[in-house]
Amino acid sequence: MRLDSRYLRGNTCTAKMNLLAVVAVALCAFAPSAHCASETIAWCYHEPSCNDSTWSTIAAPYCNGTRQSPIDIVSARATENENLTDFTFKGFNNTNGLDYIKNTGKTVKVVFTEGIQISGGDLSESYDSLQFHLHWGNGTSTPGSEHTVDGKRYPMELHIVNSKSSFKRNTTLAVADSEGLAALGFLIEELPDTTDQPGSWKTLTSFLSKISFSDQNATITAGISLDDLITGVNRSSYYRYHGSLTTPTCNEAVVWTVFKEPIKVSKNLIDLFSTMLHINNTNTSPLMVNVFRGIQPPQPVSTQRSSSTKFGYSLALMGLGLLVGRY
């Protein structure tokens, strides 16, 4: 997951440009030091000199931390936690909730209008939903989700970024709090066809031709909602762990939720992401492919208590009750 906001864009630190990589201007606001050292971190996905194998060095102190994301989720090791209740999704049905779509040079980001919020799901308070963005590989032939489940990598992954409502969208405050951000991860599975399904994704991808080059944006006028995009997923069924941003500066400020069921999207639409977007402002700059971070060391993962276990517990309690009753 990546984070940048309009507040960070206004930072007065000047970013140096590197021939190989676009400098992440957003980083200044995350830097703990007054001189803002991290603004010069030039990270990338496409060159060995700045790809994720270098981040723990070029983007210390956070990218070399001990609760880094993404991880491989081992389903059999997820412990059951009765506190992982359902979420409440406010404004996810708003067809005016998606404001604009932008090529950041590192991903495609969709920024929300105000008023979208999540709560529940064992989060400590409500969180304002700010944006979603995507991670992908190189078409459906080279999958590019960030999280893997039991070693399986999916074609794409969608991240909805949410910030504690009490921080009033101040992302500097959010990344300084170990639970300042809540990320919702949706794995994307391919429908092996070329039939433009679902319609919401046909609409979303219809904007890609307007943002071929980095920094281009387009207003989303088409009346699709977040509910339309995350269609078909049982939102009561998810994994939970504590991790980090998956791009420099990798702040360990994220409560992660990864939903078990994938969104199903036609292969022809998935392939558009790796064929239509450039990492810079020229046709000769590379296409945006393999925009995901590799797997980080494991973290404890929890999941809802399954109904069969609840049933098992009640049977055990009944048994205990019988025993107690007898003696």
Ligand X SMILES: *[C@@H]1O[C@H](CO)[C@@H](O)[C@H](O)[C@H]1NC(C)=O
Binding site for Zn ion (CB under 5 A): 1, 159
Residue 323: CB minimum distance to ligand X, A: 26
Query: Could you tell me the sign of the dihedral formed by the alpha carbons of 132, 137, 140, 146, in that order?
Result: negative
Q: What is the dihedral sign for C-alpha 228, 233, 238, 244?
A: negative
Instruction: Choose the one of Zn ion, ligand X, none that binds residue 323, judging by a C-beta under 5 to 8 angstroms depending on kind.
Output: none
Residues in contact with ligand X by CB under 6 A are 7, 17, 19, 21-22, 48, 51, 53, 60-61, 64-66, 81, 83, 93-94, 102, 138-139, 170, 172-173, 217, 234, 236-237, 279-281, 285, 289-290, 304, 307
CB of 265 to ligand X, least distance (A): 18
What is the signed CA dihedral for 234, 5, 35, 64, rounded to 10 degrees? Answer: 20
Q: Among residues 36 and 156, whose Cβ is nearest to Zn ion?
A: 156
Q: Which is nearer to Zn ion, 27 or 36 (CB)?
A: 27
Rank residues 102 and 159 by Cβ distance to Zn ion and give the closer one. Answer: 159
Closest residue to Zn ion, based on beta-carbon distance? 1
Strand partners, 191: 266
CB-nearer residue toward ligand X: 50 or 254? 50
285 or 299: CB nearest ligand X? 285
Identify what 1 binds: ligand X, Zn ion, none; CB under 5 to 8 Å per kind.
Answer: Zn ion
Instruction: For the CB of residue 327, give the shortest distance to ligand X in the complex, in Å.
Output: 31
Parallel, antiparallel or unpaired: strands 148-149 and 72-73 = parallel
Distance separating alpha carbons of residues 288 and 290, to the nearest angstrom: 7
Q: Which of 310, 17, 286, 254 is nearest to 123 (CA)?
A: 254
Q: Which of 58, 69, 104 is nearest to 239 (CA)?
A: 69
- Smallest distance from ligand X to CB 219, Å: 9
Interacting partner of 197 out of Zn ion, ligand X, none (Cβ under 5 to 8 A depending on kind): none
Output the smallest distance, CB 152 to ligand X, in A: 18
Strand partners, 1: none
Residue from 163, 86, 80 nearest 126 by CA:
163
Q: Whose CA is closest to 208, among 142, 274, 139?
A: 274
